[in-house]
Structure 1
């Protein structure tokens, strides 16, 4: 899920509906790809932390651009202590990881410093990601999580790509990442992307990018302006399925909207990646 935006919750029952459905599914991991708050206020972080604490499954969460201090309130804090409240109230780790048999996930921080919309990925975080995936079994399903986008996607009317994205997508290719989970654009969009040999050494590689719509806020955009989405991923030995689940306000629950199935790329990761 992404773009929760406490401070702009769309429906009084939506957070409870989301938590209840997730907890009833027996999931292995809950991923939140940023923008837990609307204005990085303390009370918004407290509400977000309370929601995260209700999930039964482990949670991997990264910050979004709305989770860092607004530059017009305090430019110094935005530059030097931009993620202080996130680290104190949500998680001290802005590049979290998760590994269990069959599944490996890593979170990149793309929201800090002077960045506002497009985001920025630091080289040292990319190196940390490569090291993490190099230590995982070759048959593990590999997931990369960040708030901003790494590529311009066909069908999305946006060119907001994070600075440092080319380095990150090259590393993801070398590490044979299967799935990228992101948000930011408040539009639900799932698509496979073929990474050419020119993107990174070692030949082409297909990665699926699942951009989640806003899970619980009133800030949807475009065709999803008044809609709340989150994604439910099921991983099997030879394939994986991304199901987009949409909130029905009348029924007070999330329901399946669209489903995309992809064969897993079983070629091994590059040695030394």
Structure 2
């Protein structure tokens, strides 16, 4: 068994923002505990100034355990990354422990709050994961959060390439990703990986009146990972993750429902719209796949003008299955909001065969940035509770988790709160369609599937234009991505799910 104390965001300074008594309380708690080592995930200082680093060096010396320290965005202000190396240690590195390894990587961008693990650092991280692939437990530590966090206000200051990093960690079977940055303690399970966010150890800037805290991570020999959020008030919140066994599933029983999911057709007269690809996909859907329902996750037209909507309506009227279309940000440009309602109607709840499809409008006028809003979140929570006996599918345009090959700038500005609403409400499936690339991942008990572009040339998918085929079996969901031109497929995800159809 390995026990780790995870602290973050100390913001050591001579100013009133630093709460030295909270730091000492937590450090004394750590020193008295049976911890194998300590991870500090950044923002050691407040402004990256020399006098702050000098004091930080003294304060960190109070910790009488092996210590791994990662730079944060505040540490690299004022060229503070040079002082970090002088007073604290390397910006990137490896710490080995029994049966495991900690690989820490500098995710900061000088003088910006946003982060990035790009270029050389991404390749360095990949090389280290391959080098230590035989380790039973692999921990990656950085400052910036990997998935949206609740209670952080507007969703910004994320890793620009969070989707690529998330995909890399999952492919290399990383056990734990640990980070800080937003001063909010939080724990998520993403597939078979635990994402551990620490709150702030000794800064006054806490969220919604919270107090200072640190996280206790316990890694058991059988693969179980426990994370306990411990506040200076003594309050504790504990979460445990048991590894997925087995990791290969076989569907059993008859298929209950078939969904075709598509996005970003962007019907238009522009050269980037691939009309024949869309026609071929619709023909394949009608003649070979025969789904129960077709979901379009937005950007059905390239611009909200009438002749584009007329063309889009002609295309999608050919689909024989029931349809549910939610608007994307392109759909409501210009006169698009009124035209969408005229041609496709107000998205309404669809019920069939014990399944309930809950549409959510996230698009806003004239901007790719989306929002659900506090009222919208309460509405989602209410519907998830109301239809708890059914298999619930939430449908919206904007992606909630980061997408590979896409620059993540927080396109859904309240993604953290929305993700919490969906996972707490145990939505059985979430379908999104922003970003031009397909991706699927399970967060807590909720699979989240993003569709790539079905017929728009300007996409980010090496697989080409595509749509998703989702089959639901008793206790299981299987998702394939289908190449829209050739019809070849690849597996995006397969998950066991709990719900009304679990055998």
- Any gaps of 5 or more consecutive residues in structure 1? 71-80, 195-205, 249-254, 269-273
Does residue 129 of the first structure (1) align with residue 150 of the second (2)? no
- 2:138 maps to 142
Taking the TM superposition and a 5 Å limit, the aligned residue runs for 1:51-90 are 51-70=59-78, 81=79, 83-90=81-88
Moved more, 255-264 or 6-15: 6-15
Q: Distance in 2 between matches of 1:155 and 1:218?
A: 16
Higher Cα radius of gyration: 2
- 1:209 maps to 195
- 1:102 maps to 99
Aligned CA distance change for structure 1 residues 178 and 232 (closer, same or farther; 3 Å): same
- Asked whether the equivalents of residues 140 and 177 of structure 2 are also in contact (C-alpha less than 8 Å), the reply is yes
Post-superposition offset of 1:256? 4.3
Q: Distance in 2 between matches of 1:38 and 1:99?
A: 29
In angstroms, what is the RMSD of aligned CA positions?
Answer: 2.2
- Asked whether the equivalents of residues 110 and 121 of structure 1 are also in contact (C-alpha less than 8 Å), the reply is yes
- Asked whether the equivalents of residues 182 and 212 of structure 1 are also in contact (C-alpha less than 8 Å), the reply is yes
- 1:173 maps to 170
For residues 184-240 of structure 1, the C-alpha deviation after alignment (integer angstroms, 9 at most, x for no partner) is 11111111123xxxxxxxxxxx3221111111111112352xx10110111102311
- The structure 1 residue matched to 2:228, chosen from 238, 243, 247, is 243
Aligned CA distance change for structure 1 residues 48 and 263 (closer, same or farther; 3 Å): same
- Asked whether the equivalents of residues 152 and 207 of structure 2 are also in contact (C-alpha less than 8 Å), the reply is no
- 2:113 maps to 117
Post-superposition offset of 1:126? 2.1
Q: Distance in 1 between matches of 2:246 and 2:139?
A: 16
Does residue 24 of the first structure (1) align with residue 3 of the second (2)? no
Moved more, 20-29 or 130-139: 130-139
- Asked whether the equivalents of residues 215 and 230 of structure 1 are also in contact (C-alpha less than 8 Å), the reply is yes
- Asked whether the equivalents of residues 187 and 222 of structure 1 are also in contact (C-alpha less than 8 Å), the reply is no
Taking the TM superposition and a 5 Å limit, the aligned residue runs for 1:28-47 are 28-47=36-55
- Asked whether the equivalents of residues 72 and 181 of structure 2 are also in contact (C-alpha less than 8 Å), the reply is yes
For residues 66-103 of structure 1, the C-alpha deviation after alignment (integer angstroms, 9 at most, x for no partner) is 01124xxxxxxxxxx45111111111x11121112222
Does residue 5 of the first structure (1) align with residue 11 of the second (2)? yes
Post-superposition offset of 1:130? 2.3
- 2:206 maps to 220
The size of the alignment, in residue pairs, is 237
Aligned CA distance change for structure 1 residues 85 and 208 (closer, same or farther; 3 Å): same
Q: Distance in 1 between matches of 2:137 and 2:187?
A: 17
Paired residue secondary structure (1:13): helix
- Asked whether the equivalents of residues 95 and 107 of structure 1 are also in contact (C-alpha less than 8 Å), the reply is yes
Aligned CA distance change for structure 1 residues 156 and 237 (closer, same or farther; 3 Å): farther
Q: Distance in 2 between matches of 1:266 and 1:42?
A: 50
- Asked whether the equivalents of residues 107 and 143 of structure 2 are also in contact (C-alpha less than 8 Å), the reply is yes
Paired residue secondary structure (2:108): coil
- Asked whether the equivalents of residues 77 and 110 of structure 2 are also in contact (C-alpha less than 8 Å), the reply is no
For residues 107-139 of structure 1, the C-alpha deviation after alignment (integer angstroms, 9 at most, x for no partner) is 11111335x121122222222222223233645
Aligned CA distance change for structure 1 residues 230 and 181 (closer, same or farther; 3 Å): same
Aligned CA distance change for structure 1 residues 229 and 96 (closer, same or farther; 3 Å): same
- The structure 2 residue matched to 1:49, chosen from 57, 67, 76, is 57
Post-superposition offset of 1:54? 2.3
Q: Distance in 2 between matches of 1:167 and 1:16?
A: 37
- Asked whether the equivalents of residues 62 and 96 of structure 1 are also in contact (C-alpha less than 8 Å), the reply is no
- The structure 1 residue matched to 2:237, chosen from 244, 252, 258, is 258
- Any gaps of 5 or more consecutive residues in structure 2? 1-6, 248-503
